A and B are shown apart, each in its own frame.
Chain A
Amino acid sequence: MLRCNDYVFAISPEEAYELNQKRNNVIIGGNGWLKMGKRQWNTAIDISGLGLDNIEENSEKFDIGAMVSLRDIELHKGLNSYTKGAVKESLRHIVGTQFRNTVTVGGSIYGRFGFSDVLSMFIVMDSYVKLHKGGIVPLHEFAKMPYDNDLLLGITVKKTPLKIAYSSFRNQSTDFPVLTCAVAIGEDKITTAIGARPSKADIRTDSIDVLKDIENYARKTARSFNYESNMRASGEYREHIAEVLIKRTIEKTEVHYGN
C-alpha cells in the first residue's frame, strides 16, 4: 500500500522536480510498483496534472508523455503500424487490461526493472528519454544510469526505418516473463535486446551481414549475455530459450515486414 503523510498535485515540472529532491518524497506514476513497497513516504508527488498523458505523432517521431498508460500505448495505431504490432505484443501479456489502464510508461521506464517487457521493447528502437534536469538521453544509456531524483517527462521514439519484432516467454500467461527478446533490423545494422535474464534488458548491435547465418547469430548473441537463476527458471534454461527467441523474433520481422 502507498503510505504517505502528504499528497501534492505538482503544478509544474519544476515543482515536481524540486519536491523530488527530498529523500523521503516520491513521484507517483501509476502506483503499480510503488504500492508493493512498505515504506512510509513524506510527500507523494502526483504529476497527473502536468499534461504528460498524450502521445503525439508526426512524420518523424512519437512523443509519449510519462503518464501515458501502458494500455494507451498498446492501442496506439501509429506505434503499432510503425512496429507492425510489436508494441502491442510486448504489452498485452502484462497482468490484465485494468492493470495496464492503471500503470504508466514513465514508471515502467524509470524503474528499469529486470523483468520489464516495456524496457526490452523500447530499447531496440531509436528511443530517447526526456529528463527535466538531465535533458535528452538515449534509452540504452539511461537503462545503465544509476537511479537519481530526476523527473522523467516522456519518451521519444524516432521513426527510423526498422523492422521490429517482439517475443517473450512466460511459464504462465500474465506472469512475469522468464525471458524477453526484441529485435530491430535497420538498413545496415541489427539490434537485439534480451531482458529478464533476470537482470534488465541489454542490447547487442551487429552488421546485418550476420543474417546470412541466423542460427549462428542467434547462438552467438544468446551466449554473449549473462544469465542467472531465480524462482522462474535457471540461468542455463534462460540461455537456451534466448537462442530460440532470437531466431523466432528475427523470423517474425520477416513475416511481418517481408524480406
Chain B
Amino acid sequence: MEIKLWINGKKITDNVEPDMPMLEFLRDKGCYSVKRGCETSGCGLCTVWLDGKPILSCTVPLMRANGRHITTLEGLQEEAAEFGAFLADEGAEQCGFCNPGFIMNVLAMARELDAPSEEDIKEYLSGNLCRCTGYMGQLRAVKKYIEHKKGARSDD
C-alpha cells in the first residue's frame, strides 16, 4: 500500500505491507532510537510523537500515520542533548536501553504540563520502564530539568 508521511519533518513516500508495524518502519528509515522492549504495549521504549502527541509505535498501525507527522529522538537532537546532560549529571543511567523512549516522553511532558508536581511526573512517566535503575536518578534529573526550563522561560 502507498503511504505518505513526514518523519522528523522530512516527507517520505513508500510502498508498504498493510500490516507493517510503525516501529519496524521507523527503524527501516534509519530511526534506530526507536526500540522494541516488549510485546504487550507496556514498556514505553518505542515512544514517538504522532502529530506532537506521545504514542506507542509498537501499537499504532503504520497506515494510521498516513498524511501525518512522526517525530523521533533523531528529530529532537538539541532538546535531547539538553535533557541528556541532566540525566548524566545525576548518574541516572546504567545500560541506557530505555533512554530514547524515556526522553521522548519527558520532552512531551515538559511541553504538555506547566509546573508538574512529583506526583504528576511519576504519573506521566509511569509507562516508561527501566530494568536497571530504581528511577531515583531519573526523577532527580527530570525535576532539575523542569526547574531549568521554568527559569529559562521566566528569563525571556
Contact = CB atoms under 8 A, between A and B. Distances in A.
Contact of A98 (B21, B123, B127): B127
A211 interface: no
B99 interface: no
Nearest to B40: A36
Contact of B59 (A3, A4, A31): A31
B18 A174 contact: no
A46 interface: yes
Interface string B34-48: 000001111010010
A52 interface: no
A9 B58 CA distance: 20
A101 B123 contact: no
Contact of A174 (B47, B54, B55, B127): B127
Contacts of B105: 97-98
Query: What band does the interface of chain A fall in when counting residues whose beta carbon is under 8 Å from B?
Result: 20 to 34
A101 B47 CA distance: 11
A247 B10 CA distance: 55
Given A4-B18, A36-B40, A46-B64, A92 B59 contact: no
A36 B56 CA distance: 14
Residue among A1, A28, A30, A102 with the most chain B CB within 10 A? A102
A7 B123 CA distance: 35
Nearest to A33: B41
25 contacts: A1-B21, A2-B21, A3-B19, A5-B18, A6-B18, A7-B18, A7-B63, A31-B61, A35-B58, A36-B40, A92-B123, A95-B41, A95-B42, A95-B126, A96-B127, A97-B123, A97-B126, A98-B56, A99-B59, A101-B53, A102-B55, A102-B59, A102-B60, A103-B59, A174-B127
